[in-house]
Amino acid sequence: MSPPPPLWRHHDFRQLWAAETVSQVGTQVTMVALPLLAVTLLHATPFQMGVLTALETLAFLVVGLPAGAWVDRWRRKRVLVTGDLVRAVAFGSLPLAAALGVLTLGQLYVVALLAGTATVFFDVGYQSYLPSLVDRAQIVDGNSKLEASRAVAQVAGPGLAGALIRVLGAPALIAFDAVSFLLSALFIGRIGHADTVPDRADRRPLRTEIAEGLSFVVRHPLLRRMVACTGLANLAGSATDALLVLYAVRRLGLSASVVGLVFSAGAVGGLVGAVAAARIARVIGEGRTIPLSAVVFAGAGIAVPLASLGAPVPLLLAGWFLESFGVIVYNVTQVSFRQRLCPPGLLGRMNASVRFIVFGTMPLGAFLGGALGTWLGLVPALWIAVAGQFLAAVPVLASPLIRMRDLPDGWDGGRVPGGEPVAPATRG
């Protein structure tokens, strides 16, 4: 049997890849512009920044589980296009309100919640769509290319924001993000793959279908450890994210342009990680790559509070580089494992269950970061977040993964290589 053609010649994958690239650039611009808008124009406090960051991911906790069951019932292409259009309208309202002089922190909260809800459905559909577009053997390569685009966006986006924010202002940069979502919808609309959805007569109660996805995740002895690691890491990371721009501007005295450029240059680590992820997994093994990369991104977090003692730009640069590298290598490896492991008809619910757990901790972490920053101060709160990152690595370090080279392609509920026998997953 001849090997499939390379992905750069795969029309539908190219459209998905282009959509992801353009929307990620816009998103990375907004990741700098939105908190700067809140801090500099609306004078947000640490607690208010925590609330804003929490609302961006609250939907993963509220609708994360049913989203997977709904996506498995719907045409995924339609889900992706709708998600892009909703985010375009939501973010497009901010520069309009700023131009009219009626922008408020309340509107930022509403936009964060709406865009976050659309992102839940988009991300579940997106991760469930890739395995249906490409050959099974190309999933790791596809994820590496998509993560490379994300990493390039993390390099270009903040740098673009830092260079343009003094000239155009934060509202105009957010308008750029709105346009990027419109372009993403256009590219996804050009995908020719015909979606198939289960017949309505074969549908079971929503609660039953949700339980199947959640059961698959929590009963798999390797997957549940990865989910525990990712969830705890996101809890701690969101506490840092809620305070980071405020800390850089008010405590470290960095200008908006320097913040953007430091994050942009540091994100080169993510690009290196995306390019190297497949090779690293081949050399040291997929299983070992997961705990080792978790240690890398946990250790890199030390640079953030350490920057308060001096040399903030070099420290933030080095820390951001290593953290981005570790996170991307970790994500490429564990997401590819999940996509190979799960039956196609369960992908939406499995991805939604994972995201409910790992992203559901993010609003809690952001709210906690804002509260700790108000109560203890910015630097002590950031040190607590670093301790949380190291705690997050424990579930994968103290597991069979550290002794495993290869990860299984499927699971029948029995023994996992390097692990103990477990009961088979039950159907709800």
Q: What is the largest CA-CA distance in the chain?
A: 65
pLDDT at res. 108: 93
pLDDT over threshold 80, residue 299? yes
In this structure, what token pair is assigned to residue 218? 């929590």
Q: pLDDT > 70: what percent of the chain?
A: 84
Alpha carbon distance 367, 267 (integer Å): 25
What is the residue extent of each domain of the chain?
7-192+207-403
User: Do residues 226 and 396 make contact, with C-beta atoms less than 8 angstroms apart?
Assistant: yes
Per-residue model confidence as pLDDT tens digits over 100-144: 989 999 999 999 999 988 888 887 777 667 777 776 667 777 777
Alpha carbon distance 174, 158 (integer Å): 12
303 — pLDDT class (breaks 50, 70, 90): very high
- What CATH number has the domain spanning 7-192+207-403? 1.20.1250.20
User: Do residues 261 and 382 make contact, with C-beta atoms less than 8 angstroms apart?
Assistant: no
33, 37, 53 from 48: Cα distances, Å = 16, 13, 9
298 or 129: whose pLDDT is higher?
298
In this structure, what token pair is assigned to residue 192? 């020719």
pLDDT at res. 414: 43
Length in residues, the chain = 428
Kindly state the average pLDDT of the residues 277-287.
Answer: 86
Report CA dihedral (342, 346, 350, 351) to the nearest 10 degrees. Answer: 90
Kindly state the average pLDDT of the residues 344-369.
Answer: 80
Which residue is it, tokens 């049913």?
Answer: 66
pLDDT at res. 425: 28
Per-residue model confidence as pLDDT tens digits over 59-88: 877 877 777 777 777 777 888 899 899 999
Q: Among 113-127, 191-205, 206-220, 309-323, which is the least confidently predicted range?
A: 191-205
Alpha carbon distance 400, 288 (integer Å): 9
User: Do residues 178 and 91 make contact, with C-beta atoms less than 8 angstroms apart?
Assistant: yes
Alpha carbon distance 307, 303 (integer Å): 6
H/E segment holding residue 14? helix 11-36
Kindly state the average pLDDT of the residues 176-202.
Answer: 78
pLDDT at res. 91: 92
pLDDT over threshold 90, residue 384? yes
Per-residue model confidence as pLDDT tens digits over 232-258: 999 999 999 888 888 988 888 888 777
pLDDT over threshold 50, residue 428? no
pLDDT at res. 61: 79
pLDDT over threshold 80, residue 381? yes
pLDDT over threshold 80, residue 165? no
Q: Among 198-202, 250-254, 356-360, which is the least confidently predicted range?
A: 198-202
